Amino acid sequence: GLLHHHRGRDLAVLARTNEQLTLLQQVLASFGIDTERSTGRSPLEVALRAAYRCASREQLAIWVDTSFTQGDVLTRRVAEEADRFLSSGHPGQFRAWVELRDPFDDLEPADQRDAVALLTFHAAKGREWWGVVITGAEEGLIPHGSAGSQAQLAEEARLFYVAITRAAQHLLVTHCAQRQRKPAAPSRWLQAVTDSTALDVPAPPPTRSRLPTDPLLPLREWRAAIARVSGQPELAVCSDRVLRSLAETPPADAAELARRLGITETAAARLRPLPT
């Protein structure tokens, strides 16, 4: 149904393992759906991401100077555009400048395939699509059967959170009743997703005490609410160190919150405003 309303390139199918993607590619091909396996970001996305990571104009200027002397052709092209941005006096961020002007449209091939992207959770980090389908939300895959320790389970939870926050508008999570002719149980984290139609986490109510014993208490409750909705451990959302930094220097906007939490701007916008 998603392909009836959007181009294939606006959609992605995410799976925990490459083995799942191989089978999915064969099945989708049998239905005449063009797909493209991806291992991560395109070279242009990699170059842009390096520029976007600069937290200030001063850092961006240093990156530009370094890229002019040490970067490859594509990185130098991005550096040239960043230099134009810095010289223009534009008050916004370089990301907004790029999105407004689309200065690299000539780098995209005119005959770009209109294919559905197939990626693992790992490869999907930092990317976003209009619609995302997550397959195999079953015990043994999510979390993966190899995850035995608490630390490994926390990493699996973080990966699943990455996957479910790749969708800008539409998210579909699927699981099988049987896999390889054996009964398959839904992932322990699936209910947390199905209980919420979106990852909109309201800020917790203010505490009654004017001087709470724990100055991070409002942010801890905010983190706990996110963990409940996303079905992951609280420390998989962010560490106490990150909470402390958010309290000391609140993010100016969703873009900064996204950078500090390692999530997309769309997901970060749903988590604002931060409690105080």
Please indicate, yes or no, whether residues 119 and 25 belong to a single structural domain of this protein: yes
Please indicate, yes or no, whether residues 127 and 264 belong to a single structural domain of this protein: no
pLDDT at residue number 194: 64
Please indicate, yes or no, whether residues 158 and 192 belong to a single structural domain of this protein: yes
Please indicate, yes or no, whether residues 179 and 60 belong to a single structural domain of this protein: no
Q: Based on the number of CB atoms within 10 Å of its own CB, is 196 exposed (0-12), middle (13-18) or buried (19 or more)?
A: middle
Task: Please check whether residue 211 lies inside any domain of the structure.
Answer: no
Q: What digits encode the pLDDT tens for the residues 110-157?
A: 345 678 889 999 888 878 888 899 999 999 999 998 988 888 888 898
Q: Has this prediction a pTM greater than 0.85? A: no
Task: Please check whether residue 203 lies inside any domain of the structure.
Answer: no
Please indicate, yes or no, whether residues 141 and 97 belong to a single structural domain of this protein: no
Please indicate, yes or no, whether residues 116 and 30 belong to a single structural domain of this protein: yes
Cα separations in angstroms, 227 against 42, 97, 161: 31, 34, 10
Please indicate, yes or no, whether residues 119 and 180 belong to a single structural domain of this protein: yes
What is the average pLDDT across 247-266?
A: 83
Question: Angle of helix 57-70 relative to helix 73-88, nearest 10 degrees?
Answer: 150
Number of domains forming the structure of the chain = 3
For residue 120, what are the domain limits?
Answer: 8-39+111-198
Please indicate, yes or no, whether residues 95 and 118 belong to a single structural domain of this protein: no
Q: How does residue 206 score in pLDDT terms, banded at 50, 70 and 90?
A: very low
